[in-house]
């Protein structure tokens, strides 16, 4: 009799345990939270260049060479001719100037992807004198530069002030075109910024004699001691009557206020900025990026 009671007691206990386990299991399933994973679309972040191109034309290292003027230059992002040489770095928010040796302008043997200031969009006829003043400021970097056979970097010109003859001056000296010398060239040379200007060979030259390109020679040049390498740097050119100042990174500067600058007042001028590559070797190339570029008069 006792064995039967034990048997029924054990069976009842096992039955109760099974029921409790089943209820607990169901309860846990009901209480288990359902985590919903929300699909988030990650937008591609990009930054466009904020450089106003409405008063610039660009010269490319192709064609005779090819030039693109306002308003066409404003659509450079979709212009198939410009795309290989003049385009956005949408990660850094820079305007890229890429060039290699190919086509050159009439008065040069080097190629360029370079902007030329146009006070009147689409026209080269309206320019400015030092007496009117001018300021050009840019933040840029030489992003890539190839090397020559000896392992030395090539160089490029990143900013210029270029002279130009008026039509009256051109007729006066019987010139073939309106070209005049560049008063200022700013180079990137082995990671440093080098400045070159023009000097009048004969200080007693007449106003007419000074209009000839051969009347002007190169100065000894000045190299800023600061190494910029392939990093960003800021250049500013300030022009007033009889004076020109070049400022690097808003600290170091070199000022030209000599007789040569004063004599230069006879010419009209325009600013240039970009990548005027100083190599003729095949397979060589250079890439310059501008983050900011502002001109005022």
**Rounded Cα–Cα distance for residues 87 and 79 (Å):** 9
Domains of the chain: 56-296 (2.60.120.200)
Question: Given a cut of 50, is residue 232 above it in pLDDT?
Answer: yes
The pLDDT tens digits for 56-101 are: 999 999 999 999 999 999 999 999 999 999 999 999 999 999 999 9
| Edge-to-edge order in the sheet of strand 94-99 | 86-89, 94-99, 286-296, 134-145, 233-240, 243-248, 252-256
d(CA 110, CA 104): 5
- pLDDT band at 30; cut points 50, 70, 90: very low
Q: Are 290 and 142 in contact (CB under 8 A)?
A: no
Is 18 a residue whose pLDDT tops 90?
Answer: no
Instruction: Indicate whether 110 pLDDT > 70.
Output: yes
> If you average pLDDT over residues 145-163, what whole number do you get?
98
By the 8 A CB rule, do 147 and 285 touch? Answer: no
The pLDDT tens digits for 119-145 are 999 999 999 999 999 999 999 999 999
Mean per-residue pLDDT, 7-22: 47
Judged against a pLDDT cut of 80, whether residue 270 lies above it is answered with yes
Q: CA separation (Å) from 13 to 19, 75, 257?
A: 10, 85, 109
Determine the pLDDT at residue 23.
46
Check pLDDT > 90 for residue 185.
yes
pLDDT at site 44: 59
pLDDT at 46: 76
Of 280, 295, 273, 267, nearest in space to 163 by CA: 267
Lowest mean pLDDT among 40-49, 207-216, 226-235: 40-49
Query: Per-residue pLDDT averaged across 221-241, rounded?
Result: 99
Residue 240 pairs in a beta bridge with 243
């Amino acid at each position: 009799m006792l064995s039967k009671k034990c048997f029924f007691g054990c069976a009842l206990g096992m039955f109760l345990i099974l029921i409790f386990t089943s209820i607990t299991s169901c309860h846990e399933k009901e209480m288990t939270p359902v985590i919903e994973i929300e699909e988030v679309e990650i937008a591609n972040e990009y930054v466009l260049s904020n450089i106003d191109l409405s008063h610039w034309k660009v010269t490319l290292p192709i064609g005779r060479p090819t030039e693109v003027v306002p308003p066409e230059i404003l659509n450079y992002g979709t212009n198939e001719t410009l795309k290989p040489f003049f385009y956005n770095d949408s990660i850094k928010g820079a305007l890229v100037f890429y060039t290699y040796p190919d086509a050159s302008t009439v008065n040069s043997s080097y190629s360029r992807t370079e902007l030329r200031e146009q006070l009147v969009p689409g026209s080269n006829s309206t320019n400015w004198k030092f007496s009117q003043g001018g300021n050009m400021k840019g933040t840029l970097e030489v992003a890539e530069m190839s090397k020559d056979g000896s392992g030395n970097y090539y160089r490029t010109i990143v900013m210029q002030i270029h002279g130009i003859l008026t039509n009256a001056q051109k007729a006066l000296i019987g010139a073939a075109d309106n070209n005049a010398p560049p008063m200022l060239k700013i180079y990137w040379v082995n990671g440093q910024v080098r400045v070159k200007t023009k000097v009048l060979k004969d200080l007693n030259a007449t106003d007419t004699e000074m209009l000839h390109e051969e009347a002007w020679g190169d100065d000894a040049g000045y190299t800023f001691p600061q190494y910029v390498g392939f990093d960003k740097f800021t250049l500013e050119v300030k022009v007033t009557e009889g004076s020109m100042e070049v400022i690097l990174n808003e600290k170091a500067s070199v000022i030209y206020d000599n007789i040569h600058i004063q004599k230069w007042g006879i010419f009209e001028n325009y600013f240039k900025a970009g990548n005027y590559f100083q190599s003729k070797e095949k397979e060589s190339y250079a890439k310059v990026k501008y983050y900011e570029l502002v001109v005022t008069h």
